[in-house]
Amino acid sequence: MGRERDFKIFNSHSTSNQKMKAQDINEDKKEFQLHVGEKICQGTFSSTFLATTVPDMSGNYSEVAKVGLKKNQNKYAKEQQILREVNGHKYFPRFVYAGESPKFTYIVTEFAGEDLKTVSERNRNGLLSNENLLRLAHKLHGAVGFLHTKGFFDRDVQAANGLIDLKNKSVRVKLCDFGDSTEINQPARRRSSFMRLFHRQDVPPYHPSEDHCHTAVLCLKLLVKMPDMTRRESIFYNSHITKFEFPELVEEHTWIKLIWLSLCGCYENKETNFSFIATFLDAAIVGFDKRTDLDYNIKVGVKICDFGDSSEIKEPERRRSSFFNFFLRPVLPPFHESKDHCYTAILCLKLLTKIPHSSRRKSFFSTTHIEHDWIKLNWMSLCACYTQKSYDFSFIRTFLDSAITGFCKRSELEYETEDRQLKLL
413 pLDDT higher than 50? yes
Q: Is 99 exposed, middle or buried (0-12, 13-18, 19+ CB in 10 A)?
A: middle
Query: How many Å apart are CA 127 and CA 111, to the nearest integer?
Result: 25
- Give per-residue pLDDT as tens, 148-197: 999 999 999 999 999 999 998 899 999 999 999 999 987 655 554 445 55
Averaged pLDDT of the chain? 83
Predicted pLDDT of residue 232: 61
Between 342 and 423, the more confident residue is 342
Query: CB-hemisphere CA count at 13 Å for 68?
Result: 26
CB 107 within 8 A of CB 64: no
Distance of CA 396 to the CA centre of its chain: 38
Determine the CATH number of domain 11-110: 3.30.200.20
13 pLDDT higher than 50? no
Predicted pLDDT of residue 356: 63
Most confident of 1-10, 11-20, 112-121: 112-121
416 pLDDT higher than 60? no
12 pLDDT higher than 50? no
- Give per-residue pLDDT as tens, 101-112: 999 999 999 999
Q: What is the bridge-based pairing of β-strands 423-424 and 296-297?
A: antiparallel
Q: Which pLDDT band holds residue 411 (cuts at 50, 70, 90)?
A: confident
245 pLDDT higher than 70? yes
Between 396 and 329, the more confident residue is 396
Q: Which pLDDT band holds residue 328 (cuts at 50, 70, 90)?
A: low
Q: Which helix (H) or strand (E) segment is 41 a member of? A: strand 35-42
The CATH number of 114-296 is which of 1.10.510.10, 3.30.930.10, 3.40.50.2000, 3.90.400.10? 1.10.510.10
- Give per-residue pLDDT as tens, 331-361: 557 788 888 888 888 888 888 877 665 444 4
Q: Which pLDDT band holds residue 291 (cuts at 50, 70, 90)?
A: very high
One-letter amino acid at 327 equals F
277 pLDDT higher than 50? yes
215 pLDDT higher than 80? yes
**Average pLDDT for 41-50:** 90
Predicted pLDDT of residue 305: 87
389 pLDDT higher than 90? no
Q: Nearest 5 degrees, angle CA 90-CA 36-CA 83? A: 30
Distance of CA 70 to the CA centre of its chain: 28
Supply φ then ψ for residue 408, to 5 degrees.
-105, 115
140 pLDDT higher than 80? yes
Among 2-16, 86-100, 164-178, where is mean pLDDT lowest? 2-16
Spatial strand order of the sheet with 95-100 comes to 35-42, 46-52, 63-69, 104-110, 95-100
Domain regions of the chain by residue span: 11-110, 114-296, 298-425
How is 296-329 classified by DSSP, letter by letter?
A: EE----------TT---TTSPP--S-TTGGGTS-
